[in-house]
Amino acid sequence: MTSGRHEAAPVVLAGLGTALPELTVFNPEIGERLGVSQDWIVQRTGIRSRIRCGEGTTTADLAVGAGAAALESSGEWSVDAVVVATATPDHLMPATAPVVAARLGLAGVAAFDVAAACTGLLYALQVAQGFIRTGAARRVLVIAADRLSHVSDPDDPATAPLFGDGAAAFVVRLGEAGEPGAFGPVVLGSDGRHADALVVPHGQFMQMRGKEVFQHAVTRLVEVSTQAASAAGWSLRDVERFVPHQANARITAAVAQRLGVDRHRVLESIEHLGNTSGASIALTLAHVAAHHRLRAGQRVLLAAFGAGLTWGATTLSWPPLHCVAKRPCAPALMEETR
């Protein structure tokens, strides 16, 4: 995909929605179990609280809530495909996306899952762009939803404080040259040689070699962010807002420093949401938009890193849209939502 083609017919962000579960878990609760102070958790992660699912809330519930919110934000309920990025599907089979599509009243459209861990939203976005550019779809609903707290060992200091649960969704469509909301080329990468640095074995809790993951994350996020900016025809000085995956505040600080991006241009939500996996970038966009820290036309750089190892980045001209936030939707509520 060339930059000229992108400028002639951009894929644009037409809707943004989020869904967060009901339970807020603060540091003292986790620190007491681990035998550490809440300040120790903040210093190591930047997190003061995280939002998690209670019993009975599924990944599909989160995805339905975010999908409904994004469709409402877009002002149009119809799409031609639903792509769900998740590392915590409710079942090995079937995939989560067909269930989500049916609950949204979209039975009959193409629906499938993408598994790329915390980079899942960007992988799914690239798939959606391919559908749109080839004419296979006019509008695509891209959802990232995870419940990583359910695969985290509550007694492991390396992972127990990190993860929150949640979902966020984009509606994307083909736009016109110069239209606000245009995405740039998506740059993706992976290196399975280091897959065991961050892994959830079948039937077990997450295992992470934190120092190794930190080093890879910083290196790859710097590389892919630079590549995505260049692919869009931007310099890093052109970036007005930088939204990295909310993995760890220390990773974000190190990446911003190496990129030369001033801290006031870096947008974060990890302090109160924790690491929400693939949903974190879109959740952060919605969070800061609600606090008026994004203006239409601003140049935004998005970058993520996750298990696999996987990484990705893209650019976005922020559109004048209204973000919608919902709690997870039960099936019986969907007709009311629509």
27 is catalytic: no
Judge if the upstream peptide bond of residue 94 is cis by omega within 30 degrees of 0. yes
Cα 275 from chain centroid (whole Å): 10
CA distances from 66 to 14, 185, 276, 282, 292 (A): 14, 24, 13, 10, 21
Angstrom distance (rounded) from CA 123 to CA 104:
22
Q: How far from the centroid of its chain's Cα atoms is residue 222's Cα?
A: 18
- Cα 118 from Cα 146, distance rounded (Å): 9
Catalytic residue among 6, 216, 245, 287: 245
Question: Annotated catalytic residue: which of 53, 118, 323, 329?
Answer: 118
Cross-strand pairs, 293: none
- Distances from the Cα of 256 to the Cα of 43, 123, 211, 223, angstroms: 18, 22, 18, 12
Alpha carbon separation from 45 to 30, 79, 159, 218 (Å, rounded)? 13, 38, 10, 15
Q: Could you confirm whether 323 is annotated as catalytic?
A: no
How many C-beta neighbours within 10 Å does residue 174 have? 18
- Taking the C-alpha atoms of residue 212 and residue 192, their distance in angstroms, rounded to an integer, is 14
* Number of Cβ within a 10 Å radius of residue 297: 12
CA 9 vs. chain centroid, Å, equals: 24
What amino acid is encoded at 338 in this protein? R
118 labelled catalytic: yes
Catalytic residue of the set 275, 287, 323, 329? 275
Give strand ranges (E) for 187-295. Answer: 187-190, 198-199, 207-208, 241-244
Look at the alpha carbons of 292, 265, 114, 129 in this order and tell me if their dihedral is positive or negative. Answer: positive
The rounded distance, in Å, linking the Cα atoms of 148 and 154 is 12
Strands 207-208 and 139-147: unpaired
- The DSSP 8-state label assigned to residue 180 in this structure reads T
Which residues are annotated as catalytic? 118, 245, 275
